[in-house]
A and B are shown apart, each in its own frame.
Chain A
Amino acid sequence: MSDVKDTSTAAERGAALPAQSPPVDPAETAAAGEKAAAGGRLSWWHGDAGEGARRNLALIGVLVALIVIGALTRSDLYSNPDWVWDNVLSILKLASVVGVVTVGMTFVIIGGGIDLSVGAIVALAGVWCTTVATQSYGAGGMIFSALTVGLAVGLVNGLLISYGRLVPFIATLAMLVAARGLAAEISDKQTQVSDNNFINGLASNSLLGVPLLVYILAAVVAAGWVLLNRTTFGRRTVAVGGNPEAARLAGINVKRHTLLLYALSGLCCGIAAIMLTAQANSAQAAMANLYELDAIAAAIIGGTLLSGGRGTIIGSLLGVVIFATITNLFAINGLSTEAQNMVKGGIIVAAVLVQQVQFRSLTQFLNRNRLTTT
């Protein structure tokens, strides 16, 4: 029962639906406005768009803190502006390879999956593109083969997971082992030197004072941002990760999209393989060791929800840069990598806590304050 209606307006509303836009009831609008006004001057802070931005602000805070620590501990170096600029560039260069991998990883995690095989794919693609046979085709052949290998391995991951119904963790763990094995087989466990000047130049050359690797990172990040925030692909990614059943019932092809996500991650690994090969002027089966951990950690620190459905590219980028800055901080202070790893672990926990706990209570605090002052 309880089928009751406001005779004055409901009929109009119902009838108005098929039309382009029904007239807005002025009383309703006023009421809505009032409610919004109750939100007060801090409403931007609470706004829907604000949430990601808020997180990223926290990460920038962490970054600034790290730089301040650097400046305090090595004030001698920081007093030289040229050194500071060079140091910034070296941090970005350090971040570039993992950064590219992290962009792909971010998509996979937002889409509700995980890719443990990224480091192995980078190694396989790197080894594949530096064999004597591939190098004989020149830079174009090397780039093509790296991208193709990355894409192909990503597709296999995707097929196993979406159509083979394997759990992502298991499928990509198996791929991690298999791809490294294949890389070792191909390279015969040797280091394969790259003789290609174009490829090697990607790491050693700069444009307008900025290393080319940093441009590649910027391009991948920009493309990833657009893809996630402005395209139907990105929208599907969030839907598939946020609630796969809802996505399926809305007519989204969840399996195909999952497949594409792993392919995208593989493609990013292919790009990273070229960059890493350029940096080392060589490739070997053990390269890009534990990149999967770095990429996952960076994405999580950047606010990507491990259970899927939420995450930002900018956050992931900040995560990667924070890690690179820590590494740099330890390097300029001449500290051991062991200590560095311990601090990294701490930073992961701290960053997540800062985002979750601190910001919730800060929001609450601001809220309460607003209430008492108005």
Chain B
Amino acid sequence: MSDEQPEETVVTDAPLVEAPADTVAGEVVLRLTDVVKTFPGVRALDGVRLEVRAGEVHCLLGQNGAGKSTLIKVLAGVHRPDSGTVEWRGEPVTFANPQAAMRAGIATIYQELDLVEDLSVGENAFLGHEPRRLGFVRRGHMARRTRQILGRLGHAEIPPNRMVRSLPAAGKQVVSMARALSHEARLIIMDEPSAVLAHDEVGNLFRIIRELTAQGIAVIYISHRLEEIREIGDRVTVLKDGRTTAANLPARDTPTRELVSKMTGRTIEYVFPDRPAEPPAGDELLRVDGLTRAGEFADVSLSVRAGEIVGIAGLVGSGRSELLETIYGARRADAGTVRVAGRALRPGSVGSAVRAGLGMAPEERKSQALLLGEPIYRNVTLATFGRYSRAGFTDAAKERAEADRIAESLDLRPRDVRRPVRTLSGGNQQKVVVGRWLLGDTKLLLLDEPTRGVDVGARAELYQVIRALAARGVGVLLVSSEVPEVLGLADRVLVMREGRVVREAPATELDENTVLDLVMAGSLMEGAPA
């Protein structure tokens, strides 16, 4: 299912200076030369070159803060470059606004979803270019076309008139994809589209991308998952600190070592932190019995010991996030109990959970975790500023020092903790969300997709930090869509499907395929009901 891309080898244009990949036939549709974009105090783009051909999947690689999102925002007309040229289908262009870019045939799926929560799926898909007649929106027509596009995306089950607010994260991602497809685009840019998708959804996404490229549409694809780039990409351009450090590398054959060293400037090895030799035998910290929330999950029992990392694998929609939020008291259970160190938590009370030493890094950083306009340090200390205060007076200097320490250990860039979080790149914002709970005396850490959008290097550091916490006796309950992450980091793994725990085993006894089979079983449409 991976290599269906036609491997024609005729290169029509003059070859670029860098190793021209021979897999792509189309003509050059987009060429960027020496593009520079600065923000106050930061040179986000510092001389970027990029060349994209029709019908190819061009991947952008780079660490958190390398400038990938900034680059695509320049292409999408959100930012205007300070200098440098953008050539689109042979003509130099500057897009005054996103509408101009869309009219020119460039559609973008942003890293941070940009949907209007209180509009319907169809209204979001056609936002700004609603089909209309005599000034009236043709609602029926719009619904029909939305249904068509959703069908193409393999999600015919989403009704076009449903409010976007009520959709889960993956559903929202589908809607932004539908929006991109609703334009007659010649270039579709996808900024970390897979970060919120589960394994099967990613497969779906790739199928769509292949359909698009077969029609000669170019795709720019950003992801921190190298294996995805190998599977879907044709050529790779690598950014580091706002500069192009390698252009047009063949996506399949370039050694990982080379890609990573071009990205980070250092050589990096692939490892998870070692597990302790003995399975953790600390006291039972968390005990969940028969926890149930109608329509989300049912009869879940689990435990986490001090010093233990327990992973939950499951598809988006299997009730994992809801389970975590219910344990944390952000949702109220219909039945069942949550005990921390033997004492029952008050149901539906986050305050009671936090006082008992729980911390949770939620799934959606922007809507659930961050104060975007506030400085980094205030976001890091959002749950702990009370502890650093004296008689109700905050101690900003102490908070900054603590936040600095977190920034250092998670390799946050830029390091200045007084910057507003809004100006951080997506991956760095994620580090702030997780970093919040590394402060204070959290006893039990609930992590929902903690590495979403975090680059390869920083990810390893985050794993180290989580392991170090466990070594100190903190219990960790981890939810992740990436099965290897769950298997590599956790001591014990629970597999969830359709709101129930279907398997529990030490991580060493499971492998990726077993878990994937368990997770998927019965979720295929054509499968007979189990």
Binding site for B on A (CB under 8 A): 1-8, 10-11, 13-18, 20-22, 24, 28-29, 32, 35-36, 38-39, 43, 46-49, 230-235, 238-239, 242-243, 245-253, 309-310, 363, 367-368, 371
Query: Using a CB-CB cutoff of 8 Å, which residues 39-77 of chain B contact chain A?
Result: 40-43
A4 touches B270 (CB 8 A): yes
Number of A-B contacts (CB under 8 A): 194
Of B41, B82, B328, B354, the contact of A43 (CB 8 Å cutoff): B41
A248 touches B409 (CB 8 A): no
A250 touches B389 (CB 8 A): no
Nearest-CB residue, chain A, relative to B419: A48
Nearest-CB residue, chain A, relative to B457: A6
A39 touches B40 (CB 8 A): yes
Please name the 5 residue pairs, one residue from A and one from B, whose CB atoms are nearest each other, closest first.
A14-B464, A5-B460, A251-B354, A39-B41, A46-B40
Given known contacts A17-B438, A232-B385, A235-B378, A2 and B226 CB-to-CB distance under 8 angstroms = yes
Nearest-CB residue, chain B, relative to A46: B40
B374 touches A13 (CB 8 A): no
Complex contacts, A250 vs chain B, CB 8 Å: 354, 382-383, 436
A22 touches B268 (CB 8 A): no
Q: Tell me the bound Cα distance from A235 to B393 in angstroms.
A: 10
A24 touches B268 (CB 8 A): no
B308 at the interface (CB under 8 A from A): no
B158 at the interface (CB under 8 A from A): no
B226 touches A5 (CB 8 A): no
Q: Tell me the bound Cα distance from A249 to B482 in angstroms.
A: 24
A363 touches B40 (CB 8 A): yes
Complex contacts, A233 vs chain B, CB 8 Å: 392
Nearest-CB residue, chain B, relative to A15: B468
Given known contacts A4-B456, A246-B368, A367-B40, A231 and B374 CB-to-CB distance under 8 angstroms = no
Complex contacts, B162 vs chain A, CB 8 Å: none
Chain A nearest CB from B441 CB (Å) reads 12
Given known contacts A2-B459, A245-B368, A21 and B464 CB-to-CB distance under 8 angstroms = no
Given known contacts A48-B418, A250-B436, A21 and B405 CB-to-CB distance under 8 angstroms = yes
Complex contacts, B408 vs chain A, CB 8 Å: 13, 22, 24, 28
Q: Name 20 A/B residue pairs within 8 A (Cβ), A-sorted.
A: A1-B227, A3-B459, A4-B457, A5-B271, A6-B269, A6-B460, A13-B409, A13-B464, A13-B465, A21-B405, A28-B415, A35-B41, A39-B40, A230-B393, A231-B389, A231-B393, A238-B371, A239-B382, A242-B373, A248-B350
A3 touches B385 (CB 8 A): no
B394 at the interface (CB under 8 A from A): yes
B472 at the interface (CB under 8 A from A): yes
Q: Tell me the bound Cα distance from A49 to B400 in angstroms.
A: 14
B225 touches A18 (CB 8 A): no
1/0 contact trace for B431-463 toward A, CB 8 Å? 000001010000000000000000011011101
User: Which size class do B's interface residues fall under?
Assistant: 35 or more
Q: Tell me the bound Cα distance from A15 to B470 in angstroms.
A: 11
Of A5, A43, A49, A363, the contact of B461 (CB 8 Å cutoff): A5
* Additional A-B contact list (13), CB under 8 Å, known A3-B271, A239-B374, A251-B350: A3-B484, A14-B273, A14-B409, A14-B464, A16-B409, A17-B409, A38-B42, A43-B41, A232-B386, A234-B394, A239-B371, A251-B383, A367-B38
Given known contacts A17-B438, A35-B42, A251-B351, A3 and B409 CB-to-CB distance under 8 angstroms = no
Nearest-CB residue, chain B, relative to A229: B394
1/0 contact trace for B461-483 toward A, CB 8 Å? 10111011100100000000010
Of B43, B419, B459, the contact of A4 (CB 8 Å cutoff): B459
B375 at the interface (CB under 8 A from A): yes
Of B38, B224, B419, B420, the contact of A371 (CB 8 Å cutoff): B38
B375 touches A48 (CB 8 A): yes
Q: Tell me the bound Cα distance from A13 to B412 in angstroms.
A: 13
Of B40, B268, B389, the contact of A7 (CB 8 Å cutoff): B268
A5 touches B268 (CB 8 A): yes
Nearest-CB residue, chain A, relative to B330: A249
Given known contacts A11-B464, A14-B461, A38-B41, A3 and B488 CB-to-CB distance under 8 angstroms = yes
Q: Tell me the bound Cα distance from A46 to B488 in angstroms.
A: 43
Q: Tell me the bound Cα distance from A50 to B401 in angstroms.
A: 21
Q: Tell me the bound Cα distance from A22 to B353 in angstroms.
A: 30
Q: Tell me the bound Cα distance from A367 to B41 in angstroms.
A: 9
B392 touches A231 (CB 8 A): yes
Complex contacts, B38 vs chain A, CB 8 Å: 38, 367, 371
Chain B nearest CB from A38 CB (Å) reads 6
Q: Tell me the bound Cα distance from A161 to B420 in angstroms.
A: 30
Q: Tell me the bound Cα distance from A200 to B217 in angstroms.
A: 79
Chain B nearest CB from A162 CB (Å) reads 14
User: Which of A18, A367, A368 lies at the interface centre, i.e. has the most chain B CB atoms within 10 A of its CB?
Assistant: A18
A1 touches B371 (CB 8 A): no
Nearest-CB residue, chain A, relative to B386: A232
Nearest-CB residue, chain B, relative to A245: B368
Complex contacts, A245 vs chain B, CB 8 Å: 367-368
Q: Tell me the bound Cα distance from A231 to B388 in angstroms.
A: 11
Complex contacts, A248 vs chain B, CB 8 Å: 330, 350
B218 at the interface (CB under 8 A from A): no
Complex contacts, A4 vs chain B, CB 8 Å: 256, 260, 268-271, 456-457, 459-460
B43 touches A38 (CB 8 A): yes
A246 touches B382 (CB 8 A): yes
Of B355, B369, B382, B457, the contact of A5 (CB 8 Å cutoff): B457
Given known contacts A7-B268, A247-B382, A32 and B415 CB-to-CB distance under 8 angstroms = yes
Q: Tell me the bound Cα distance from A317 to B402 in angstroms.
A: 33
B370 touches A13 (CB 8 A): no
Given known contacts A18-B468, A32-B416, A249 and B394 CB-to-CB distance under 8 angstroms = no
Nearest-CB residue, chain B, relative to A310: B373
Q: Tell me the bound Cα distance from A21 to B398 in angstroms.
A: 12
Q: Tell me the bound Cα distance from A3 to B266 in angstroms.
A: 15
Nearest-CB residue, chain B, relative to A20: B405
Nearest-CB residue, chain A, relative to B365: A246
Complex contacts, A29 vs chain B, CB 8 Å: 415
Chain B nearest CB from A204 CB (Å) reads 36
A3 touches B485 (CB 8 A): yes
